[in-house]
Amino acid sequence: MQPRRQPIPIILLLKTAFQILWQQRDDALRLGLVPALLLFAGIYLGGDTIFAVAQQVESGTSAEMASGSGSTLLLLSAMVVVSLSLLMVNWLRFLLLGPMGAVGIGLTLGAAHVRFLIASIVFLIGLTVAVMAISLPLVLLLPVPVSIANLLAILLSLLVAVRFLPFMVGQAIDQPMTLRQSWAASRGNALTLAISLVLVQVPFMIGLAVVEQILAFIGFIALAPVGTMFIIAVAQVAVWICLATVFAAAYRHLVGVRV
C-alpha cells in the first residue's frame, strides 16, 4: 500500500464534519439513539461518583475514595466505551459503505463491532500508559506543573495515536490493514489529524458551556438534573459523530474504500 502524499486541509475536515452532521441529521438521530441512551444511563448511574471523585482530586484527598467508587467508575467507563464503539462503527459504515452498512437503529451487531471494541480498549489502555510514561519524565526533568506535563504528554501521545486511525477505520468497515500499513498511510498527516480532532470539539464545548450557564440561570439544572444529564449525553454523541466523520473523511483521502 503506497501512502498518498497530499496533505489533508484541516478546514476541509472540519467543514465536512459539521456539514454531514446537519445534512444527515435524521441518520444521526437514528444511529445515535441507542448510544445516547447507553451514555445517559452511565452518567445517571455514575454521576454522583464522578462528582465526588472530582472533588476529592481537587482537594488532594483522592486516596480516600469511597468504597464502591472504583467499581462504579469501571462500569461507567465500560458503558462509555461500548456506546462509543457502537456509534463509531455504525457511523463509519454508514458514511463509507452506504446506507446498507448500518440499517435500522444500528443494533445489527457483527464481527466489525467486536473488533473495533477490542481495538478501542487496547488503544485506550496504551494511550493512558503512554501519557503516564511521558508525563513523569517531563515533571522530573522540566520545571513545569503536573497539569502542563500531562497536557504535553496527551498531545504527544495523540500525534502517535492518529497514525493508527486508518487501522481503526479498517476494522469498522471490514477492510482491515496492518498497523504498519496504517502508519505508512497516515504519514505526513499526523499533525493535521490531531488538530482536526481537537478543533472539531471546540464548538460543542463552547455551546455546551453556554447552554449550561443558561440552564443554571433559569434553574433548570436544579429542577431537572436528569434532563441535564440527557442533554450532556446527546451533546457528547454529536461530538462522537463529528469525530467519526473526520475519521471517515481522512480514511477516504489516505486509503480509499474498496467497493
Closest among 11, 44, 23 to 233, alpha carbons compared = 44
Which region among 111-115, 126-130, 243-247 has the lowest average model confidence (pLDDT)?
A: 126-130
> Which pLDDT score, from 0 to 100, does residue 153 have?
82
Residue with cell 462522537: 240
The three-class DSSP label of residue 259 is coil
- Give the number of other Cβ atoms within 10 Å of residue 65's Cβ: 15
Average per-residue pLDDT for the chain: 86
In this predicted structure, the answer to whether residue 157 has a pLDDT above a threshold of 50 is yes
The H-or-E segment that residue 56 falls in is helix 25-59
Four-CA torsion 206, 209, 213, 214, nearest 10 degrees: 60
239 DSSP assignment: H
The arithmetic mean of pLDDT across residues 200-225, rounded, is 91
The arithmetic mean of pLDDT across residues 132-144, rounded, is 73
In this predicted structure, the answer to whether residue 109 has a pLDDT above a threshold of 90 is no
Reported as a single tens digit per residue, the pLDDT across 24-75 is 999 999 999 999 999 999 888 876 666 665 555 545 454 445 555 667 777 7
In this predicted structure, the answer to whether residue 257 has a pLDDT above a threshold of 70 is yes
> Which pLDDT score, from 0 to 100, does residue 1 have?
46
Within its chain, how far is the Cα of 221 from the centroid? 25
Are 204 and 17 in contact, with CB atoms under 8 Å apart? Answer: no
> Which pLDDT score, from 0 to 100, does residue 63 have?
45
> Which pLDDT score, from 0 to 100, does residue 74 have?
77
Annotated domain spans of the chain: 10-57+67-254
